[in-house]
Amino acid sequence: MDFVNAIILLLNYIFIPALTYGSQLALGAIFVTLIYGILRFANFATGDMMSFGTMATILFTWYFQSLGVSLGVLPTALLAIPFGIIFMIMYMLLIDKFVFKYYRYQKSPPVQFAMVSIGVMFVTQAVVRIIIGPADRRFFDGEKFIIKAREFKEMTGLNEGLALKSTQVITIFVTIVLVSLLFWFLNRTKTGKSMKAYSDNEDLALLSGIDPKKIVLVTWIIAGILATIGGALYGLDKSFKPFTYFNNMLPIFAAAIVGGIGNPFGAFLGGYVIAFSEILLTYAYKKFFMYVLPASMEPDSLVQLLSTDYKFAVSFSILVIVLIYRPSGIFKGKVL
């Protein structure tokens, strides 16, 4: 019985939250990796682009709520996401046309691209804050829990409760669907294959008649979808605050690089690597050991490897270690 309790404890406090957080990171990391693989630069505006997409989604959610449209138990935001995506893609294409296109034709070095993306970061941050303000916003509605901790306890008669938030289920479900669609697209369709070819060897791809304009357009569209959904899911699960989104750029970068930048599958797994290591290393295992060990060996301290303050530092340290020992990432990168 105690053993089951311990398992439930880990599920409730480590496994499910890490899986959710990892999914959110994974979507962002695939976004970073796509831009890096095809447009060939590190996009420092990642976090702010995600916050732009989320902002558009929130605005549409409010609009639908004012119309009285809702999805019942599901959050209204799910209905608003497609409109948010359209807005996001339009914004990205606009930026590409006025900013990035010029440097692409100039064949500027990646460093210059990165600097330009910092300019885009400033502008996007300003736009988001001017439109919606810097405050913390929650836009979740509908049923909050699928299983409540108390109900679970009554149902199973265990000491430990298992709470399952609907946002967690939605996040994991949407991520699985979206990522499988994306991999199907990249591996099975002609456009997807030509994107891979372009990322692998630009000159050769051009020689074989692949239209670079189309590739870039498709890349931005996929990026817009990923950014909006990733951002909106994070906002639904936690809350929307432009500053947090800017900060989230850092673990997202970590996930993309740990997985091997330029490799979407690596980025996908990298998101989970980062999320799990952050939570595993900063969780206090005292209660877990109380269940597993006999009463005489119960620990006095919290049995916490690092305090939760170092959550971000954990993922960054992992990244630094990976960069030193395997700069191309765990799953060799640079090819889609």
Closest approach of Cβ 129 to other proteins, in Å?
A: 4
Would you give the DSSP letter of residue 295? G
151, two tokens: 């109900």
Residue 18 binds other proteins, judged by CB under 8 A: no
CB of 232 to other proteins, least distance (A): 22
Smaller CB separation from other proteins, 296 or 301: 301
Read off the amino acid at residue 108.
S
Q: Quote the tokens at residue 127.
A: 């736009």
Best CA proximity match to 139, nearest among 67, 243, 65, 229: 65
Q: Which of 4, 71, 73, 112 binds other proteins (CB under 8 A)?
A: 112
Among 246, 283, 288, 291, indicate the residue that binds other proteins (CB under 8 A): 246
Based on CB atoms, which residue is closest to other proteins, 126 or 176? 126
Burial class (CB in 10 A: 0-12, 13-18, 19+), 240: buried
Q: Please tell me the distance from the alpha carbon of residue 20 to that of residue 167, in angstroms, as a whole number.
A: 9
Contacts of 149 (CB under 8 A, 6+ apart): 12, 161, 162, 163
Contact set for other proteins, span 302-321 (CB under 8 A): 305, 307, 309-310, 312-313, 316-317, 319-320
Shortest CB 253 distance to other proteins, Å: 5
Alpha-carbon gap, residue 280 to 196, rounded angstroms = 35
Which one-letter DSSP state was computed for residue 297? Answer: G
Q: Shortest Cβ distance from residue 204 to other proteins (Å)?
A: 22
In the chain, the amino acid numbered 34 is: L
Tokens 């090819």, residue located = 335
Angle among Cα 48, 170, 124 to the nearest 5 degrees reads 10
| 111 lines the binding site for other proteins (CB under 8 A) | yes
Q: Least distance to other proteins from the beta carbon of 281, Å?
A: 11
Binding marks (x or -) toward other proteins, 28..57, rule CB under 8 A? -------------xx---------------
The residues binding other proteins (CB under 8 A) are 41-42, 99, 102, 109-112, 114-116, 118-127, 129-130, 133-134, 246, 250, 253-254, 257, 301, 305, 307, 309-310, 312-313, 316-317, 319-320, 323-325, 327
